[in-house]
Amino acid sequence: MKNTILGLGLESSCDETSASVVENGRKILSNRIKSQIDLHKDFFGVVPELASRAHLETINVLVKNALEEAGIGFKDLDYVAATSRPGLVGSLLIALQSAKAISYIMKIPLIAVNHLEAHLYAPFLEGASPEYPCIGLLISGGNCNLYIINGTGNMKLLGKTADDAPGEAFDKVARYLDLGYPGGPLVEKLARESGQKPKLFPKIMADSNDYRFSYSGIKTAVVNYVKENPDADKSDIVFSFQERALELLVRKVYSAAREFGIREILVAGGVAANGRLREMLQKEKKPDEKIIIASPILCTDNAAMIAGIGYQYFIKGKNDPLSVDAEPRV
């Protein structure tokens, strides 16, 4: 095998289009990302048809720019990887079909990537080294999953959300309070302005001894509180909401790590960019425990993580046929 392996990653599972070139699964040579926030913000959420059309309009330009920035051409690629699951089917098809075309024309392996596993690989693009087994917490707008990770393609699901994911809850609370979209950064920013630091809402799932998550209750609690206290300070409301929402994540992830005697914890996904969550994770950490989180830009959907995890499958000789299909769920 060559000393230098170059992979092109493509991502279009939701509302970011991205193309990236990664060397040897670790070194990012380019990572072009086009957000669709401005397209969807008036709807306070992603409109699937608009998202897929925007991906289609953008993907070719991003691929061209990513290759140029990396200083390579299609002929230099050793493999192409694309998200195939989970996500919005119409959106997934844009990156996946583009990758199929490149694979077919250039006669290079196609690797269909699990978007969730790719998120958990993101920290390794910044120098982190895995120490398996580790605990993996994936938190985003559509997912809240807790895993034991034993290696590439070997993840045991410990628990997931029973209803809303954290990102969904942040978006819905922000919408109800008329803060804007996306809700996560807006809630975090406003929460830091709270002067009283109140505890307006009870702990979520305080008596739960498993690894399930649930966010519908705290969302309803916020709505009811606002109805009963229409003049309440919004910064105090979102502070209390955010503390309770994040406390559940911190409590569950450390409970799992300590029950199974695992000292390394990976935290990934869009919500992992939240600064307050990072503070809480560090505060709870014991000296022999290690928290690994990627930079905020790699917490969001991006193609570098797709190319990165794709490399791990490439070196194992695992690739996919051109008939592989997009799947909305894992």
Question: What's the average model confidence in pLDDT over 180-196?
Answer: 94
Q: For residue 1, is pLDDT > 80?
A: no
209 band by pLDDT with thresholds 50, 70 and 90: confident
197 band by pLDDT with thresholds 50, 70 and 90: confident
For the chain, give the mean pLDDT.
96
4 band by pLDDT with thresholds 50, 70 and 90: very high
218 backbone φψ class: left, alpha, beta (φ>0; ψ -120 to 50): alpha
Asked if 306 and 82 touch (Cβ cutoff 8 Å), the reply is yes
Question: What domains can you pick out in the chain, each with its CATH number?
Answer: 6-122+300-314 (3.30.420.40), 132-262 (3.30.420.40)
Q: pLDDT exceeding 90 applies to what percent of the chain?
A: 94
Residue-level pLDDT at 142 = 86
CA distance 276 to 215: 18
Question: What's the average model confidence in pLDDT over 265-287?
Answer: 97
Residue-level pLDDT at 207 = 86
Q: For residue 45, is pLDDT > 80?
A: yes
Residue-level pLDDT at 208 = 87
User: 152-178 pLDDT, tens per residue?
Assistant: 999 999 999 999 999 999 999 999 999
CA distance 281 to 270: 16
Q: pLDDT exceeding 70 applies to what percent of the chain?
A: 100
Question: What's the average model confidence in pLDDT over 56-82?
Answer: 98
Question: What's the average model confidence in pLDDT over 214-234?
Answer: 95
Task: Outline where 29-88 has alpha helix (H).
Answer: 37-40, 48-70
196 band by pLDDT with thresholds 50, 70 and 90: confident
195 band by pLDDT with thresholds 50, 70 and 90: confident
195 backbone φψ class: left, alpha, beta (φ>0; ψ -120 to 50): alpha
Q: For residue 301, is pLDDT > 90?
A: yes
At residue 149, the 3 state secondary structure works out as: strand
pTM of the model: 0.95
